[in-house]
Chains A and B, each alone.
Chain A
Amino acid sequence: MEKLVEVKNLKKWFLIGKSPLGKKELVKAVDGVSFYIEKKEILGLVGESGCGKTTCGKAILRIINPTAGEIFFNGQDISHLSRKEMLKFRKRMMIIYQDPFGSLDPRMSIGTTIAEPMEVHKIGSKKEQEERVIQIMEKVGLFPDQINRFPHEFSGGQRQRIGIARALATNPEFIVADECVSALDVSIQAQIINLLQNLQKEFGLTLLFVAHDLSVIKHICDRIAVMYLGKIVETAPKNDLFNHPKHPYTQALLSAIPIPDPKMRGKREILMGDVPSPINPPSGCRFHTRCPLVKQICKEEEPSLKSSNNIHYVACHLVN
């Protein structure tokens, strides 16, 4: 398969202040991440809060400018393009946000909101744009007669549909879905997941699905990358990862999810301690402070992502 998106050694550091001695304090939100997404593939990027998954998604779209590393879109390096040069890629890649309340302009009717990407990229006449808006609204399950309504008149689930419609307006190839179902009620969440699956098939979309919920990720994704403190610790096709997780963190993450079946109660290993601060990440393997299998080498040397079969990659001294 052809790669649509490829990221090489991507880094994003945020400057949060300077110590009195003039030493810079950095949050290394994303610290050397490499992965690829094939055409028409759904890649799940999973991790706990603060692991850098959202930053990573936004850096790929150049909403945030990466500190270092390369981003290839359809073979072209877009990591250093100017704002103007970037423009022609913008209509080919879009984002869907987590918060259905914050991501829609409260003073803009939903018709205008959905049409905006087309207007910015000057696609079609006013009339064609309106036709397209109605067409997409029907696709995502909104009623065309709601076109002149404002966001506050809609429920959370419907707003998320509006956000999806806007992301589809320019017929993009690649969409980053940033926690796009985690703010929704359970019954609505299922509706949106199904909608995304249908749309992905219908339009042949490539998706980067950023989430913290492994059950959702498992349901929707083809391949999964697990992040911990700014690094990818394991990446593998869905079934490989869920059936044979190799990294101790992935194993712990899988075991931590409460399963809706009381017979499975209590059958889990629980990871102790908290996620360390990304300002001062632990030396060596970043997971060593919580790892149940920690060895001396883990504290000293940082493991790199390696694979025995070129499919299932793990960054752990104990596996490689």
Chain B
Amino acid sequence: MKTKEWLIEKTLLLMALSAVAMLALIAIFVFIEGTPIMAREGLGHFLLGRKWAPTKGSFGIFPMIVGSVWVTIGALVIAGPLGLACAVFLVEIAPRKVADIVRPAIQLLAGIPSVVYGFVGIVVLVPLIREHLGGPGLSVLAASIILGVMVLPTVISISQDALEAVPRTYKEGALALGCTHWQAITRVILPAARPGITVAIVLGLGRAIGETMAVIMVVGNAVKVPAGLLDPARTLTSNIALEMAYAGGDHREALFATGVVLFMFIMLLNSLAALRFGRRRPSP
């Protein structure tokens, strides 16, 4: 009996460790492949260089960094307010029947493959932007909108959890003091849920910055620093995906180095989220 328990525990431990090991292996591999070229080119040159001509020996990924940052912030400007509003509606206002329809619909949104988002973007959104706002259509704006919709489920479901975790006493205390429902939401519930909402937004950021397929399809992929929302751009992820097929030698290393930068970005965001989670006060 005792050996059986021992065996089960150790097996589970091994399985849990294998997930961590997988992560460690990928990270180590990416770093081993990617860091030498950063060292050779100089970190400053690599990160801030504006010229990306890998076949001719120029490896500057600054345009891609800017592209990723723009697209991600754009996505968040769209998904943040929309997602938060939706979460507040679902938790505080929606009658149960409406919530029962909206919740699964949002989960479904998360299940649509990204290539489908990209396809809809290129067929519907890009021409719309080209005709009404000008520019080539394939742009930072198009990518931001598509990404915004894609990260919406993340922002909504995590904000929803945060709102539901606010102690009921806060809300009832506010109502008993003569707050209207809306005052209770804006002055008591939202401030109390702020740490969780921040986490929702940071995790949304993480998803947006890592998304590849849909972005490649609508962002234009031009290697230059975008001057405005209607300019095409290229993101870190699309840089890797677009060129990996024919990259060799230094070029291949440079793509791995792009991966390293992406890795750092996402680690930064996740640890930021973890930090906020840690600070959340336990509910009484």
Tell me if chain B binds chain A. no
Where the two chains meet, the residues of B that have a C-beta atom closer than 8 Å to any C-beta of A are none
Partner-B contacts on A (CB < 8 A): none
